[in-house]
Structure 1
Amino acid sequence: MAELNGEPVELAQLQTLALTNYGHFTSMRVDDGRVRGLSLHMNRLRRDCRMLFDADLDLERVRELARRAAPATGSTVIRVTIFDPHLDLGHPSTANDPHVLVTSRPAGALPLPPLRVQSEWYVREVPSVKSVGLFASLYQRRQAQLGGFDDALFVDQDGVISEGGTWNIGFFDGSRVIWPDANCLAGVTMELLKGTHDHNTRSVRLADLPNMGAAFATNAAIGVRAIKAVDSIELPESHAIIDTLRKEYMEIGGDLL
């Protein structure tokens, strides 16, 4: 399913998005018509629209358009992409007419199997924005997969951990959940978990990982997913803290889309 401003999208209307890759989005898992952290998803869209297009977004209209793609029962992932189809590559400063593209895809069954990730030296451009510009993130993921891993974990030149390409990372140090203090996109799932479980936020380096009891990835589509290895450092495939976080996350009441 794909609609632009509530109408079936035509190929020509996607040309600008495909060729310029300037825009932002959010992806929401919808279970029986409800979304965990719906207000956080909407606030993200409003904030990023103001930053990229200097324009206000009609969030009630966005919800209405997203609702059209969400079945009343079952689970699906709805992506809301905001872009200006009239953007001029030579004059991006004139882009101020954001359109709403809504697409859907099946939601996977949870929980997903543990990940093996490879550290890659990379910090996303404008990390606070959930940008449609995924080239570099996908390049790093490809390099990790070619190396025999499932995905990439971003670190800076000092080995400070920030995030994965499309997910946040958290750790358990034996007593508390730790979220990295680094430039990254604050994911909705991470923010929801911060509100349900005691935690610390501090710098985490690759050198700290042998002392960690567990690691996990989070985003709206995967929930809480165990990380069983970072480079050559092995971590538990299952851990009580991961089970606890999954339970707490699933118990968060969703809002009607």
Structure 2
Amino acid sequence: MNTAPELLIEIDGRPATEAELARRAMDTYGHFTALQVRDGRVRGLDLHIARLDAASRELFGSELDGARVRSALRHALGGVRDAAARVYVHEAAGGAGLTLMVTVRPPVFLAERAQSLTSVTYQRPFAHLKHLGGFAQIHYGQLARRAGFDDALLTGPGGVISESAIANIAFWDGDSVAWPAAPALTGTTMALVESLLPEAGIPSVHREVTLADLPRYLTAFVCNSQGIAPVARIDETVFPGDERLMKTVRGLYEDVPWDAI
């Protein structure tokens, strides 16, 4: 079977029960990773597994075996080759180890058209974790879309830019790609692209980027597990754009090997 179901949920390798789902609906202390699966493979799978393990150690004081994650993914996918999957980690009842919930949905693709973002004053707490309970970022994202934008851009005091509500963001000034030096999740796609930029002769740096700095940049792009897209506008700042850079960045990402689950 190649087509993913509208929604499949397994917990620890078996179909989720009503009681198990009810417990998780009340338990927002946990973390997850989101993966796009194509032909039964995932880009940066080791990075996803490392993220889950690091967050499990930090939140629960327990390591998470990568083999267990792979097995849970394979079982939930069954014969599905293309899907959007998520792995959620909670602590089992009574603190008896970790429990994994895997969801499988149809695959998702980030629109490659240029995006527009509107800035909001908000930074995710414990931003280095892909944790649950992100009401504010979801709310700001909804407000942005109602206002005609694609997403919200999260900023801190002084207009310091962190990330978008659902993606990392980077800025290009004609000399180097700048990743905001502010509280943010290091996404898997970001980590893959950042590691490859030097090979293409493109310097990659981490530095503070503020809303006031935006006019100095030629373009920006957002990236997450769904893909990479240029940013055409942030608030009232319109970027000239750089098709050559975007072609290079997308090419680097497209060449990343897919890992078998």
Do these two structures clear the TM 0.5 threshold for a shared fold by scoring above it?
A: yes
Offset, 1:56: 1.7
Whole-Å separation in 1 of the counterparts to 2:172 and 2:137: 25
Aligned pair partner of 2:208 in 203, 207, 210: 203
Q: TM-score if structure 2 supplies the norm length?
A: 0.90
Question: Secondary structure of the residue that 1:197 maps to in structure 2?
Answer: helix
Matched, 1:253 2:257: yes
Contact 2:36 2:108 in 1 (8 A): no
- CA positional deviation for 1:136: 1.2
Gaps of at least 5 residues in structure 1 are: 87-93
Equivalent residue letter for 1:234: V
Residues 164 and 245 (structure 1), Cα distance of their counterparts in 2 relative to 1, 3 Å cut: same
Retained in 2: the 8 A contact 1:171–1:178?
A: yes
Q: Which residue of 2 aligns with 1:80?
A: 87
Determine helix, strand or coil for the equivalent of 2:140.
Answer: helix
Question: How do 1:1-257 and structure 2 match up within 5 A?
Answer: 1-70=8-77, 74-84=81-91, 86=93, 95=95, 97-109=97-109, 112-198=112-198, 199-221=204-226, 223-236=227-240, 239-257=243-261
Is this contact kept in 2: 1:77–1:105, CA < 8 A? yes
Q: Contact conserved, 1:55 with 1:96, CA < 8 A, in 2? A: no
Distance 1:84 1:172, change over 3 A: same
What is the SS of the residue equivalent to 1:158?
A: helix
SS of the residue 2:158 aligns to: coil
Displacement after TM superposition at 1:135 (Å): 0.7
Does 28-37 or 3-12 show the bigger shift?
A: 28-37
TM-score normalized with structure 1 length: 0.91
CA RMSD of aligned residues (A): 1.8
Instruction: Describe the superposition over 1:62-109 as per-residue Cα deviations: whole angstroms up to 9, x where unpaired.
Output: 1011012336675321100001353xxxxxxx6453210000122234
Question: Post-superposition shift, 1:16?
Answer: 2.6
After TM superposition, the runs of 4+ consecutive aligned structure 1 residues lying more than 6 A away are: none
Task: Please give the per-residue CA displacement for 1:23-77, whole angstroms capped at 9, x wherever unaligned.
Answer: 1000111111221111110000000011111112122011011012336675321
Pair 1:111–1:237, CA change in 2 (3 A): farther
Look up the SS of the partner of 1:224 in the other structure: strand
User: Which segments of 5 or more consecutive residues in structure 2 lack a partner in the other structure?
Assistant: 1-7, 199-203
Shift of the alpha carbon at 1:112? Answer: 2.9
Equivalenced residue count is 249
